[in-house]
Structures are given as C-alpha cells and as structure tokens.
Amino acid sequence: SQQGEEDPQALSIQEGENATMNCSYKTSINNLQWYRQNSGRGLVHLILIRSNEREKHSGRLRVTLDTSKKSSSLLITASRAADTASYFCATAPLSGGYNKLIFGAGTRLAVHP
C-alpha cells in the first residue's frame, strides 16, 4: 500500500517562479527519493536524501527532510516550461526488505511560458 502522501496534487505556475512540493510518509525510512515522470513515460531519478540528512541540493533542486515530522519537500527554483511533469516522492522503509520503494501520490506540475 502507498505510504506517501503528497501535496499539492496539482500545481500550476509561471516560468521563473519557484515550485514547492511536499511529501509525508508513515513509517521509519532508510532514505527518501524524488522522481520525475513525463506524461506516459518512465521515471527519472532526481535526488536521494538519507534519513540522517536534512537538506540536499542538486542544480535547481533543493530537498529537505524532517524525520521528526516524517515529511520532505522538493523545491524547484526558477522553473522552466520543460519542468512540466509529475513528481513523486518514494520512501525506502527500514523494514521493507530488498530495499523496495513506496511511492507517494504525486504532484502534477504545470509550468506556463
């Protein structure tokens, strides 16, 4: 069963604006990952943050993790039309076995030129 919840479900912004997506989860985790999916396509791995890390950056992406609140956020700065996609968080539960991932519901981001 899914353990991650994401908000907002959908986000519509103008190019150049920042986009923030949030993810909450239920059980203790080994790590949390963010993925991007263009419509009808496979997943692209964006960033992984370990349970002992609080913040991580990669280019225009900034991810935070608050294990006390069991939540994470993904910030995309200076968004571009090409950032239009669905974004999913995925958690690797500590007790998951075989390092399986549990995906959140996702946020559909639309960036308008």
Partner 1 sequence: GAVVSQHPSWVICKSGTSVKIECRSLDFQATTMFWYRQFPKQSLMLMATSNEGSKATYEQGVEKDKFLINHASLTLSTLTVTSAHPEDSSFYICSARGGLNEQFFGPGTRLTVL
For binding to partner 1 (CB under 8 A), which residues are involved? 1-2, 35, 40-43, 45, 48, 88, 92, 97-106, 108
Q: Which is nearer to partner 1, 17 or 50 (CB)?
A: 50
Q: Which is nearer to partner 1, 97 or 113 (CB)?
A: 97
Q: Which is nearer to partner 1, 101 or 110 (CB)?
A: 101
Taking the complex as a whole, how short is the minimal distance between the CB of residue 36 and partner 1, in angstroms?
Answer: 11
> Exposed e or buried b for every residue in 6-26, given b needs 16+ CB within 10 A?
beeeebebeeeeebbbbbbbe
Distance separating alpha carbons of residues 48 and 112, to the nearest angstrom: 27
